[in-house]
Amino acid sequence: MVFHIVYDKKSTVSDIINYLTDKGLEYITYDNDNYKQLKKGRLVKSHCAARLNPFVAVFDNKLIKAFYTEAKEVNLYNIERWINENNIKNGNTENQ
């Protein structure tokens, strides 16, 4: 399971990145202000029909969950709650 984070210089995603790092979860970031990363970030966003930055998508061979700025979902509270509700640990879902 990999979190894909698309952001730009106006975005504040450092708290999300720090949280994912602390939890040992895998993530990839795409800086839309960097020309080489812009195309890859657009591919992630277009896969989910997202327009605004920041944007977070969770993939595990297929799209699992998307957090949209348009719906005000891209914040640490929502991402942390989703991870805890789904028992995500080290990139895997733990069955109870």
Beta bridge partners, 45, equal none
pLDDT tens per residue, range 8-27 = 999 889 999 999 999 999 99
In three-state secondary structure terms, 52 is coil
Residue 92, pLDDT score: 59
How many whole angstroms separate alpha carbon 17 and alpha carbon 24?
A: 11
Which residue blocks in 3-94 are alpha helix, DSSP H?
Answer: 14-23, 35-47, 76-85
pLDDT in tens, 18-70: 999 999 999 999 999 999 999 999 999 999 999 999 999 999 999 999 999 99
| pLDDT for the residue numbered 91 | 57
Both tokens of residue 50?
């997202």
Res 96 pLDDT > 90: no
Domains of the chain: 2-93 (3.40.30.10)
Query: If we measure between CA atoms, which residue out of 23, 20, 42, 22 comes closest to residue 31?
Result: 42
Q: At residue 93, what are phi and psi to the nearest 5 degrees?
A: -85, 130
Distance CA 37, CA 35 (A): 6
Q: What is the pLDDT of residue 94?
A: 46
Query: pTM for the complete prediction?
Result: 0.90
